[in-house]
Amino acid sequence: MMREYEHEYADFLYYTPRELDKEGSIWPVRAGRSIAKPNYSVGPKRIECYSLHFVEEGKVCVEFDGSRAQLQQGDLFCLFPGRTYNYRMLPADATLQMRWIALDGDRVRPLLERAGLKPEMPVMTDRYTGTVKQSVEQLIHALAEAQKWTQSRSLRLYSLVYALFAGLIPDSPVPHTAKPVAWIRECMDFMELHATEGITVQQVADFAGVHRSYFSGVFTAQVGISPVKYILNIRMEKAQRLLRETDATITEIALSLGYPSLYTFTRAFKNCFNVSPLAVRKRNDRSASTGR
């Protein structure tokens, strides 16, 4: 039964590992589910284990290492030990509802990395479906029945944890026809060529022939920024050039860069430069008129 807290309604399940659990080097610590209140916000927060959060309904914004990601139903994110996170509910048709499973042990991080989840890219989209969702439900149900520890329950939990990762880790191996640096470079060329056409990270991952989460993790590790940020930077650099060097209207620039409207372009531009595109255009016009 859910209890009421300041920002949410939630229930918590706790598990204390025994020697048999630790022999497997991976075990659950706690799990639960929550329904957010209108003021739902968590953080800044650090934890000592790995916590997978699965979005069942609504939308949530996750902030990590100066980056942010907006997730919705079917997405998930992971909190890594010793890292600072903030996450909050976003306006949506449905109230934010999540399930979570916290794990510990030496095997957790390698398995997360095989799934494509890393500290620099702790999110996955469209993965909380099918067998993954079924595994989460079964694992939480098993934890609810494991208040009294037995060897059989321990082994059952162990198998369910691995079943969860079996659903998260892609079946397709990463192509070995080229070194990662080479195929990431090809992806960068693809993004630079098509960034103004409104391409998504999923489309770039499809171009590379790898899972989106794996692509995002490798790209971020090698390039230093996320692919979302890389595409944004390409668009913003072109936006500045068009504002300075052409007489195209701001609406024309917005649509030329792949934005669906003037509003979405202006918001992205202001988030990037802390100034509106109109202000940049006016500043450029004044400089031109004074001969500077």
Are 28 and 153 within one domain? yes
Residue 211: the pLDDT is 81
Q: What is the CATH number of the domain that holds 84?
A: 2.60.120.280
Q: Domain tally for the chain?
A: 3
Q: What is the CATH number of the domain that holds 195?
A: 1.10.10.60
Residue 160: the pLDDT is 94
Rounded CA-CA distance 182/174 in Å is 13
Tell me which of 173 and 210 has the higher pLDDT: 210
Are 225 and 258 within one domain? no
- Domain assignment present for residue 174? The answer is no
User: Structure pTM?
Assistant: 0.61
Are 67 and 154 within one domain? yes
* 286 pLDDT higher than 70: no
Are 148 and 251 within one domain? no
Are 161 and 184 within one domain? no
Are 189 and 265 within one domain? no
Residue 70: the pLDDT is 87
Are 185 and 106 within one domain? no
* 181 pLDDT higher than 60: yes
Are 11 and 120 within one domain? yes
Q: What is the mean pLDDT of residues 105-111?
A: 92
Averaged pLDDT of the chain:
87
- Domain assignment present for residue 119? The answer is yes
| pLDDT tens track for 19-37 | 999 999 999 999 999 999 9
| pLDDT confidence bin for 176, thresholds 50/70/90 | very low
Q: Report, in angstroms and rounded to the nearest whole number, the Rg of the chain calculated over CA atoms.
A: 22
Using CB atoms within 10 Å of the CB of residue 11, give its burial: 0 to 12 exposed, 13 to 18 middle, 19+ buried: middle
Tell me which of 66 and 171 has the higher pLDDT: 66
| pLDDT confidence bin for 132, thresholds 50/70/90 | very high
Are 72 and 120 within one domain? yes
| pLDDT tens track for 229-245 | 999 989 888 998 899 88
| pLDDT confidence bin for 166, thresholds 50/70/90 | very high
Residue 178: the pLDDT is 43
Residue 177: the pLDDT is 42
Taking alpha carbons only, the member of 123, 119, 107, 102 closest to residue 28 is: 102
- Domain assignment present for residue 150? The answer is yes
Give the percent of the chain with pLDDT over 70.
93
Q: What is the mean pLDDT of residues 202-224?
A: 85
* 172 pLDDT higher than 60: no
Are 130 and 106 within one domain? yes
| pLDDT confidence bin for 291, thresholds 50/70/90 | low
Please check whether residue 187 is in contact with residue 207, taking contact to mean a CB–CB distance below 8 angstroms. Answer: yes
Residue 180: the pLDDT is 55
- Domain assignment present for residue 162? The answer is yes
Are 157 and 26 within one domain? yes
- Residue 222 identity (one-letter amino acid): Q
Domain range enclosing 276: 238-290
- 148 half-sphere exposure, CB direction, 13 A CA radius: 0
Rounded CA-CA distance 248/74 in Å is 40
Residue 97: the pLDDT is 96
Are 206 and 267 within one domain? no
